[in-house]
Structure 1
């Protein structure tokens, strides 16, 4: 039997799978961790403990599964939350916690400064993206501005996946898809690092660029001792978790889109040409000649966790979903702005605030939770409205992630967006996509094989909901009419 190891580091949990050449899962393991919020607007992980520690814990668990033999593992691929900013010293040791993706908004001042010094139009022309909280470049500049002593010790700036691959192989690499999020340091036209726009750091402090299924190196003896993996196994360059998740459900052809219901909502649409709009994100896709158009909310699963922990301590999500299902669509006129960590696309407003609006004494906890789910669904629909305005309505939506188990949330998304969604037989997540990418990397699978590895199992049809027809425009107006208040709070 030939096995492929896929392992993904998420915002709150890491997952790993061993998959055979038919796509069957032979072993799986998980390990939880926390997102650190040292102060409002910051979001961090501990690279050694949360990223590498989870990898070691999971591989050791996988290899103790009955009938699993480590020598049968033919290739490894990793993914992780991103894009992140992790400075490391000359030995590869982290100098700070890993600064997370767009939910971390600490570099607002640096974004404003770069836009003023370079010009927003010039940045967009070179990078294919506007500078937002998703961009790593401003966060590196923030490090230089606020911690010059740490910046001076920085030999390399990695992202989460890069750190894992370095720990496994000793190679400093990054895939093009992730690197495009390092604006203004990545030129999408040349598909390479650039210092033509700004001098933030020497370019030799950035990892070597590769495509996601290229082999970055092989498991070292030191990594083998820590993980239980045999030395010498090829390791791919890897990618961001959302991209691997898209691969896991067969998003491969132009016009296909993934909607990931995770800690955040994240969408990826594969295109045959660059689809560039300042409200969205653009990157080369995982393979040469293909492109990706992305969008993401700042909170979704994180907001449901906040709701449970704050308003329903002790309740599990099944109970909350059942309560939401008893509330009528539209939650009795209750609106929720899900901007509890600011908002990413399409608003790009780190000062946006969350809100419940329309409360009265008849509303129940179930109404509140339905409003949360519908608020997230409305935010997803607002993203899809952008694609419609660009004449790029997706041909197919593939839903994936832990949130697909919530029928209210899933149905509300289709209803607000007026688009059906397909769900595949396996909703394992990014780690399954990683395993497939590992198989691709060594020629053990072809891109089309994912359709047999993970076929479509069911569809969620869109329904016309009069309450949503009335409330969706009001939901959008609620943000615009309170934006000034939010900025001053």
Structure 2
């Protein structure tokens, strides 16, 4: 029997999957953890505990639960939240907590500095992206300026997947797709690290070696085998960011196909056969040579529902609280009885890229209930996604299909509101485990045990979420208010954000 191991490190939990050669799930495991917020605008993880510790626990559990001999696991693929910034020493030991992706906005000053120095045109030409909170380069510069003693000890800067790969194989490597988010350090024209910023930010020899996602990075070492339960010598792929693995898991493989990930944030990937140039969108080479990725993301979605649960539904059982709130929200009609929410509770990424943006609940009166407010939060996320889809259209990016993935697809109001606000049907595959399942497929693909088209056999479309005309009309009336609300309050928001300084 053959099996393939996929493990993913998320914002709030890690997941693992063992799948067989036909894509059947043999066993799953997960571990919950918290995102650390030491001060407003910061978001961190303990890499040793949350990343490697949970990888080891999950790997051992999957082997024990499945009763597979470790030698039956033919390959391993990993992914994780990204882009992150984790400085490590020569032994791969973390020198501080990992700085997370775009929800961490600590490098706003460095973003402004580098944009002024380099110029937006050159940033787009060489890196494919404007600098935003999603860019790793400014966060490395923040490290250099604000933690010089740590920067001096840094042998390599890793992200979540490359940290795991080092622990498994002893090599410092990163895939091209992940490296594309290290802007301005990755040169898309040469598809390699640039030495232009060696003095200003960091030298290329302190960054990981570049590989394509399904290249084999190395083999499980004896020490890694002891901790994970895997067999010594098991092949390990180069890994990738979680959203890319999620896209693979639901069959996003051809130009015009889009993955919409319902997670802690909404993250969207469109595969293209050419580079889409727009400063509001992110670019990276896709997982395979010759393809391109055009990406976007919101700052809060699942994090917003979790916040609401913890602050306003404390009496509910934590295990079922979100389901209970979703059921309550069904009692509120589309439009939430006149409420409009700006879901910018951690700033916002696409399309406004404003770390100073703040959440707004607009239209409240004494008749509104908790169910109205919770529904309005979900609809606010959906209206934000509509503005993202409009950005793709304005950039000339061809869109042919949307595949939805992630735990949020089980929330009927949330997923239906996105189809209603955008006008696009969403395909939901039978298996919605997400990135961990995509990793299992990538592990099989990397060693030649699967072809790219096999993912549609592994994970067939189970249902469609089609737009509802009546609800869509309600959201069309609310969308101009959503847009104008930010326009009219953004200067006030900047005044409130002075506490971040």
- C-alpha displacement at 1:21, in angstroms? 0.2
Quote the Cα distance in structure 1 between the aligned partners of 2:398 and 2:368.
36
Q: For residue 96 of structure 1, what is the aligned residue in structure 2?
A: 96
- C-alpha displacement at 1:393, in angstroms? 4.3
Q: For residue 278 of structure 1, what is the aligned residue in structure 2?
A: 279
- Structure 1 residues 414-429: aligned runs within 5 Å: 414-429=419-434
Quote the Cα distance in structure 2 between the aligned partners of 1:263 and 1:408.
17
The list of structure 1 runs, each at least 4 consecutive aligned residues, that deviate by more than 4 angstroms after superposition, is none
Spell out, residue by residue over 1:109-143, the C-alpha distance to the aligned partner (whole angstroms, 9 max, x if none).
00011111111221111110000000000000000
Quote the Cα distance in structure 1 between the aligned partners of 2:195 and 2:301.
35
Q: Secondary structure at the match of 2:330?
A: helix
- Structure 1 residues 74-223: aligned runs within 5 Å: 74-196=74-196, 199-223=200-224
Quote the Cα distance in structure 2 between the aligned partners of 1:87 and 1:37.
18
- C-alpha displacement at 1:197, in angstroms? 5.1
Q: For residue 336 of structure 1, what is the aligned residue in structure 2?
A: 341
The farther-off stretch of 308-317 and 219-228 is 308-317
Q: For residue 369 of structure 1, what is the aligned residue in structure 2?
A: 374
Quote the Cα distance in structure 2 between the aligned partners of 1:307 and 1:151.
37
The farther-off stretch of 465-474 and 211-220 is 465-474
Q: For residue 442 of structure 1, what is the aligned residue in structure 2?
A: 447
Quote the Cα distance in structure 1 between the aligned partners of 2:81 and 2:281.
18
The alignment's TM-score, normalised by the length of structure 2, stands at 0.97
Quote the Cα distance in structure 1 between the aligned partners of 2:156 and 2:428.
40
Q: For residue 303 of structure 1, what is the aligned residue in structure 2?
A: 304
Quote the Cα distance in structure 1 between the aligned partners of 2:264 and 2:415.
15
- Is the CA contact (8 Å cut-off) linking 2:28 and 2:62 kept in structure 1? yes
- C-alpha displacement at 1:419, in angstroms? 0.6
Quote the Cα distance in structure 2 between the aligned partners of 1:186 and 1:463.
43
Question: Compared with structure 1, are the counterparts of its residues 344 and 46 closer, same or farther at alpha carbon in structure 2 (3 Å cutoff)?
Answer: same
Q: Does 1:43 align with 2:43?
A: yes
Spell out, residue by residue over 1:304-331, the C-alpha distance to the aligned partner (whole angstroms, 9 max, x if none).
0001001111331111001111101000
Q: For residue 382 of structure 1, what is the aligned residue in structure 2?
A: 387
Quote the Cα distance in structure 2 between the aligned partners of 1:328 and 1:359.
15
The CA RMSD measured in Å over matched residues stands at: 0.9
Q: Does 1:234 align with 2:241?
A: no
- Is the CA contact (8 Å cut-off) linking 1:176 and 1:211 kept in structure 2? yes
Q: For residue 292 of structure 1, what is the aligned residue in structure 2?
A: 293
- Is the CA contact (8 Å cut-off) linking 1:123 and 1:197 kept in structure 2? no
The farther-off stretch of 139-148 and 194-203 is 194-203
Q: Does 1:433 align with 2:416?
A: no
Q: For residue 499 of structure 2, what is the aligned residue in structure 1?
A: none
Q: For residue 225 of structure 2, what is the aligned residue in structure 1?
A: 224
Q: Does 1:70 align with 2:77?
A: no
Question: Compared with structure 1, are the counterparts of its residues 279 and 42 closer, same or farther at alpha carbon in structure 2 (3 Å cutoff)?
Answer: same
- The answer for unaligned runs of 5 or more in structure 1 is none
Quote the Cα distance in structure 2 between the aligned partners of 1:65 and 1:91.
32
Quote the Cα distance in structure 1 between the aligned partners of 2:315 and 2:58.
28
Q: For residue 267 of structure 1, what is the aligned residue in structure 2?
A: 268
Q: 1:397 aligns with which of 402, 405, 411?
A: 402
Q: Secondary structure at the match of 2:180?
A: helix
- Is the CA contact (8 Å cut-off) linking 2:250 and 2:459 kept in structure 1? yes
Q: Secondary structure at the match of 2:288?
A: coil
- C-alpha displacement at 1:195, in angstroms? 2.6
- Is the CA contact (8 Å cut-off) linking 2:59 and 2:229 kept in structure 1? yes
Q: Secondary structure at the match of 1:17?
A: strand
The alignment's TM-score, normalised by the length of structure 1, stands at 0.99
- C-alpha displacement at 1:466, in angstroms? 2.3
Q: Secondary structure at the match of 1:326?
A: coil
- Is the CA contact (8 Å cut-off) linking 2:277 and 2:395 kept in structure 1? no
- Is the CA contact (8 Å cut-off) linking 1:423 and 1:456 kept in structure 2? yes
Quote the Cα distance in structure 2 between the aligned partners of 1:183 and 1:362.
48
- The answer for unaligned runs of 5 or more in structure 2 is 497-501
Spell out, residue by residue over 1:86-116, the C-alpha distance to the aligned partner (whole angstroms, 9 max, x if none).
0011221110100000000000000011111
Q: For residue 61 of structure 1, what is the aligned residue in structure 2?
A: 61
- Is the CA contact (8 Å cut-off) linking 2:351 and 2:388 kept in structure 1? yes
Quote the Cα distance in structure 2 between the aligned partners of 1:381 and 1:461.
15
Q: Does 1:32 align with 2:37?
A: no
The aligned length equals: 489
- Is the CA contact (8 Å cut-off) linking 2:276 and 2:396 kept in structure 1? no
